[in-house]
Amino acid sequence: MAEGLAWMTGIVLFALSGVHVYWAAGGRKGFRIAVPTRGEEPLFRPSKAATAIVAALLAMAGAFVLQLGGIGEPLLPGWLFALGGWALAAVFVLRGIGDFRWVGLFKSRKGTPFAYWDSVCYSPLCLLLGISLICIRSAA
């Protein structure tokens, strides 16, 4: 079961990495709903370099999840590998819960396209990824 869950989680992370590569390469589709806004103004404007770094981190997380699920050999020492699984799960769960203001299931700022998509897709997906990582890590 852990292996199948690792495959699904890894594929999602690689797909998210691909979306970020698209944005880093100059693609604009979906970009407007990917950043929190205050009214029509984005809270921040991610650079192409920052977006590429996020893409690389998501791809590395995808590879890590596959290794965590027993697909391939771990490239990290055992203690760091174990710690990394819990840390990655915590990152996704905390992102899903959010900052109680702009992002997450408990955000107070609503009524923007980002807030809508964050509530129906981004935050639930982060929670699902975090829970998947907890299950994969627990089975390892």
Once rounded to an integer, what is the mean pLDDT over residues 76-90? 89
pLDDT by residue (tens digit) across 93-137?
999 999 999 999 999 999 999 999 999 999 999 999 999 999 999
pLDDT at 140 over 80: no
pTM above 0.95, yes or no: no
The structure tokens 């982060």 sit at 126
The DSSP string of 113-140 is HHHHHIIIIIHHHHHHHHHHHHHHHHH-
Per-residue pLDDT at 108? 93
Per-residue pLDDT at 60? 95
pLDDT confidence bin for 32, thresholds 50/70/90: confident
The CA-CA-CA angle for residues 62, 67, 73, to 5°, reads: 140
The DSSP string of 63-104 is HHHHHHTTSS--SS-HHHHHHHHHHHHHHHHHHHH--SSSSS
Question: Mean pLDDT over all residues of the chain?
Answer: 94
